[in-house]
Amino acid sequence: MANPSVEAAPQGAGDANARRDRPPTIRDVAELAGVATSTVSRALSRPERVNPRTRVRIEEAAAELNYIPSSQARGLSSGRTNAVAVLVPDITNPFYFDIIRGTQHQLKAAGVTQLLVDTEESSEMELDALHKMRKSADGFILAASRLTDAQLTEVSQTQPLVTFNRASTSAPTVMIDTPSAIIQALEHLASLGHHKVCYVAGPPTSWSNQMRWKVFEEDATKRGMEVHRIGPYAPKTTSGAAAADAAVRTGATACIVFNDLLAIGMLQRLKARGIRVPADMSIIGSDDIFGADFCNPPLTTISSPIEQAGRVAVSMLLAQLNPLPGSATRKLAVMPTHLTVRESTGPAPA
């Protein structure tokens, strides 16, 4: 631009800004700007540390060369990777997609790379990932962690992390307000005249599963309902058939199901068996995943802003990584829930 004649002779031997075959390094920029690499480095990462005039020169040089700092090298010397790992138990589960979406969004906004890991519902894989990636990520977001409290505590001492849907005394946490949700759901069922209710349990290692059951039992008992529990089931639609059959045998007229996947599976099975929902049995899912609104019948379910939860988790993690002097880091965020009533719940059969 500034020197078209050079453009015209791109192969000039002594060309100062001759295109190297390799991408430009900080050294190229330094040379072009006539400063030392250290100055370039500072101009780019701590602009206030450098004279505005110099900075502008450097920025121009960088722009001209189309310079992009190597995150590898930066990571090596600074110890920071500018990446965050998000660990989910099952990438297959639409529920986690929402959270992944949230984290992805927020991380991207912060210019941080997301490293996605599927831990396959296994605490070993989770620990393993945590260990293996300790140098390649600045922090971790553990969605529905399968770790024990002790493991969690230990890990959180070494690496910055925030847990999602898994209470922890040691690490910041973002949670779904499950108790409130279950109570809302039971209230809804009670108002429809249901007396026999059944909790359809998910994975035993899931903390939120335990929570849900606990609140369910307490509150349903308090209401004088007959409470049943079946499970555990894998949180997949394919487990729904067995769950539906078992649920029917309990004699309950309404089920609160660990998650929507399972609930949708149950819906399918019930339909196949000719058991009408909600006329014969009401079903309440949890999570309001993609599909809950258009399955048949549309599923009454516990909704919460999962994607936003992902964003919040990222914010909390980033706050932990770059603590602002002023603000204390938040240790807990509870996401509100509400019951989205659709067509899978109705009056108890007479």
Partner DNA sequence: AAGCTTGCGGCAAGCGGTTGCCAAAAGTTG
Partner DNA sequence: CAACTTTTGGCAACCGCTTGCCGCAAGCTT
CB 33 within 8 A of CB 57: yes
Interface stretch with a second copy, choices 39-47, 50-58, 187-195, 295-303 (CB under 8 A)? 295-303
Near DNA by CB under 7 A: residue from 2, 9, 13, 53: 53
The separation between CA 104 and the C-alpha centre of its own chain, rounded to angstroms, equals 8
Q: How far apart, in whole angstroms, are the C-alpha atoms of residue 290 and residue 211?
A: 23
Instruction: For the segment 21-50, give every residue that binds DNA (CB under 7 A).
Output: 22, 25-27, 34-39, 41-42, 44-45, 49-50
Strand partners, 300: 284
- Tell me if 327 contacts DNA by CB under 7 A: no
Residue 336 burial (CB count, 10 A): 12
Which letter does DSSP use for residue 322 in this model? S
- Residue 134 beta carbon to DNA: minimum distance, rounded to whole angstroms: 11
Distant-in-sequence, close-in-space partners of 213: CB < 8 Å, separation ≥ 6: 199, 201, 229
Which of DNA, a second copy, none binds 222 (CB below 5-8 Å, type-dependent)? none
CB 162 within 8 A of CB 172: yes
CA dihedral sign of residues 151, 154, 159, 165: positive
- Tell me if 81 contacts DNA by CB under 7 A: no
- Tell me if 73 contacts a second copy by CB under 8 A: yes
Near a second copy by CB under 8 A: residue from 19, 49, 135, 249: 135
- Residue 35 beta carbon to DNA: minimum distance, rounded to whole angstroms: 3
- Residue 34 beta carbon to DNA: minimum distance, rounded to whole angstroms: 7
- Tell me if 81 contacts a second copy by CB under 8 A: yes
Q: How far apart, in whole angstroms, are the C-alpha atoms of residue 314 and residue 301?
A: 26
CA distances from 272 to 100, 268, 296 (A): 33, 6, 12
Which of a second copy, DNA, none binds 118 (CB below 5-8 Å, type-dependent)? a second copy
Which of a second copy, DNA, none binds 179 (CB below 5-8 Å, type-dependent)? none
Distant-in-sequence, close-in-space partners of 283: CB < 8 Å, separation ≥ 6: 254, 255, 257, 263, 266, 267, 270, 277, 299, 300, 344, 345
Closer to a second copy at the Cβ: 12 or 23?
23
CB 220 within 8 A of CB 251: no
DSSP per-residue string spanning 221-241: HHTT-EEEEE----SSGGGHH
- Residue 42 beta carbon to DNA: minimum distance, rounded to whole angstroms: 5
- Tell me if 238 contacts DNA by CB under 7 A: no
- Tell me if 267 contacts DNA by CB under 7 A: no
Closer to DNA at the Cβ: 42 or 311?
42
- Tell me if 279 contacts a second copy by CB under 8 A: no
Near a second copy by CB under 8 A: residue from 3, 5, 11, 72: 72
Query: Given the rule CB under 8 A, which residues bind a second copy?
Result: 23, 66, 68, 70-73, 75-76, 81, 91-92, 94, 97, 100-101, 104-105, 108, 113-116, 118, 131-132, 134-136, 237, 264, 267-268, 290-291, 294-297
